[in-house]
Amino acid sequence: MKYGKRLAGFAAATAVATVALSTPASALDMAEVQRQINALQAQMNEMKAAEKKSSGSDLKVKWKGAPQLSSKDGKFKMKVRGRVMADYVNLNDDSGMDRDATEFRRARLGVEGIVFKNIKYKFEVDFADNDVDITDAYLQWKAKPVSLTIGQQKVPVSLEEQTSSRYITFMERAALTDGFSFSRMIGIAASTGGDNWTVKAGIFQGDADDGSDEQGRTYAIRATFGPELGNSDAKVHVGASYFYRENDDDDGTLRYRQRPPVHIADRYVDTRDMGTDIAGDNDQYFGVELAGVLGPLSVQGEYGWLEADNDLGSNPTFTGGYVDVSYFITGESRNYKAKKGSFGRVKVKNPINEGGIGAVQVGVRYDTIDLSDNGIDCGEQESWIFGANWHLNNYTRIMANYSFTDVDGGSYDGESIDAFAVRFQVDW
C-alpha cells in the first residue's frame, strides 16, 4: 500500500507540473492549480479510507468459554458449545443392589449461532451412555413480540426442567421431571415476554430418536413472572405449566417410574411393577413453581399433579414436588433470568485461574414422587439430598451430593437407599 501512496503522490505532483508547464508563468491561474490539488487530495483521502477499511477484518472473535465468532455488523454469530459431566457414585440399599461405578452423565458437543440477525440456530449431540443422541436441533425466528421455534427442543414445563443441567443446584433434577417424562420433542413453539415475564406454548410430536410411524401429540404451555422488588439482590419467580399428552406407546399403556437422586441406580418406584397396567390414551399435567433469591441465599420449589387416563379403572392422579434451600458461602448469587423464566450461569467473583478460591455453594433438598392412587400402589419415594458445589470459575465446577431415600409401597416397600456422588463438570 506504500507503493500506492507514492504513486498517488507522484500523480499529484505530475498533474501540478503539467498545469504549470502548459500555461505561461505570467498567466498561471493559481486558483485552478489549487482546485486540482484539492481534487487530488480528496482522491488520496478516499484511498486511505479504503485501505483502512480493507486492512481490518470483518470477523470479530470473543471468548465465552469457547471462541465466539461474529461479523462486525452483528448479523452473523457462531459458537462451538459443549459440556462434559463425569460422575462417580457409591450406592447402598437394603436389597443388596449396591453400586460403585463411574459414568459420563453428559458428553455433549454442538454449535449455535445467529444468521441474518434474527434467526437463531442450535444443534447439539450427546455421546454419553455409549450412544449418540440429538438433544437440541432447532431454528428460532426472533421476531417481536413473538418468537417462533421449530425443531427438537424442550417442552415448556417446569422451572427445574427449563434450567440447564449446567446450572442446576444438585447433580440430578427433581424426581417429578424424569418420573413424569418431561423431555425434548420435535415441534413448533411460540414464545413472548417482557423484562420480567414469559409465555411459551407449543405443539410437539415425537423426538429425533423416535422412528415409529405412530406418534402422539403433546400440547404444552408455560407462563412465568418475576416481579421487581426494588432491590437488585432480591428476586422472585412465580410460574405455572400445563400439558396434555397423547399416548404413543405400542402396547397402549402409560408408564411412570423414577430412580433415587443419582443416575447410576435402579428405579424403585414403577407403575409396571406389582402387575399394574395403566391402559389409556392420554395424560395431563399441571404444575406450579416458586423461587426466590436474596443475595447468596436461594429458595426453590415446585409441585405437580399428573392425571393418567385409565380404561381399566379410575383415573389415578400422581404427584411430585420438591423444595430446596441453597447458600453461597463466598457471596455469589444464583443468576435468575426473569426474561427466560429460568436460572443461568453463576458469575464467580474470585475464580481459581485468577488467584482466587472460586465460589462455594451448599444446599439441601427434600424431594418426593408418589405413584400410588385409586387402587394403584406402585410406591412413594421420598429423598433428602445434601449438596456442596465448588465453582472453580464460570465454566468449571465440582459437585458432591449425599442422599438418603425411603420407599413406601410398591415392589420395594420399606426400601432405604443411601448414595454418595461426585461430579466433575466443564462446559463451554
* 277-296 pLDDT, tens digit each: 787 889 999 999 999 999 99
Residue 17: pLDDT band by 50, 70, 90 thresholds?
very low
pLDDT surpassing 80 at residue 92: yes
Q: What is the per-residue pLDDT for 52?
A: 59
pLDDT of 239 reads 99
Name the average pLDDT for the chain: 90
Q: Are 405 and 381 in contact (CB under 8 A)?
A: yes
Residue 27 has pLDDT above 60, yes or no: no
Distance CA 228, CA 315 (A): 41
**Which residue do the cell numbers 399394574 mark?**
276
- Which range (62-76, 367-381, 402-416) has the least confidence? 62-76
Instruction: Please say if the pLDDT value at position 9 is more than 90.
Output: no
Please compute the mean of the pLDDT values over residues 186-190 and round it to a whole number: 99
- Tens digits of residue pLDDT in 75-86: 999 999 999 999
* Predicted TM-score of the model (pTM): 0.84
Distance CA 373, CA 366 (A): 21
2 pLDDT above the threshold of 60: no
What the block records as the C-alpha cell of 192 is 413472548
pLDDT confidence of residue 208: 85
* Structure-model confidence comparison of residues 375 and 35, the more confident one: 375
DSSP lists the bridge partners of residue 199 as 192, 223
| pLDDT tens-place string over residues 156-166 | 999 999 999 99
Model confidence at 51, pLDDT cuts 50, 70, 90, reads low
Mean pLDDT, residues 138-151: 96
Three-state SS sequence of 315-372? CCEEEEEEEEEEEECCCCCCEEECCCCEEECCCCCCCHHHCCCCEEEEEEEEEEEEEE
The more confident residue out of 50 and 232 is: 232
Rounded to an integer, the average pLDDT of 366-378 is 95
Alpha helices in 97-158 (DSSP H): none
Q: Which domains does the chain have, with CATH numbers?
A: 2-55 (no CATH), 64-427 (2.40.160.10)
With a cut of 90, say whether residue 183 has pLDDT above it: yes
Contacts of residue 267, defined as CB under 8 A and 6 or more positions apart, other chains included, come to 257, 258, 259
